Amino acid sequence: MDAKFFSYINVIDPLIKRMAARGGGTIINIVGNGGKVASATHLAGGTANAALMLATVGLANAYAAANVRVLAINHGLTNTGRVAEGMKAEAASLGISEDEALKRSVSRIAMRRMAEPEEIAAVVVFAASTRASYLTGVTITMDGATTPIIV
């Protein structure tokens, strides 16, 4: 909770109040998709992600009248160094190669590939723009259709 929840909340709290006082702003939380589906190997992180998603929509509701928008991007596997480190750990725990761990993980993605950081960034730029001025209180899932749930 300290690393994944309070680190966000401790920054958001003073900023959202200043945004409300000045009459507007946008906060976009980048939250892993692990808060949507319970996983025995990701309980602590998933719990923090779920709490952050709830805080996101709650803050959006509380500050909407002040023209402050709050939303989240729920990303799945993204081609980053952090995911590469996770693949090393998974490979070691399963006794398989890193390539095999990556292949297994990617095979669970409906689009059969990981997201690129630029794809996540493009949605963040749109969500922060005036073209998305009515978008608030939502989580946008970007997981290549890995988690087929209605939100």
Model pLDDT for residues 10-21, shown as the tens digit of each residue: 999 999 999 999
pLDDT in tens, 51-78: 999 999 999 999 999 999 999 999 999 9
- The model's pTM is 0.90
pLDDT in tens, 108-130: 999 999 999 999 999 999 999 99
pLDDT of residue 151: 63
pLDDT of residue 36: 84
Domain architecture of the chain: domains with CATH: 2-76+133-142 (3.40.50.720)
Q: In what order do the strands lie in the sheet with 68-75?
A: 25-32, 68-75, 139-142
Instruction: Residue 51: name the closest of 32, 77, 28, 67 by CA.
Output: 32
Instruction: Residue 46: name the closest of 11, 74, 12 by CA.
Output: 74
Q: What is the C-alpha to C-alpha distance for residues 73 and 113, in angstroms, rounded to an integer?
A: 18
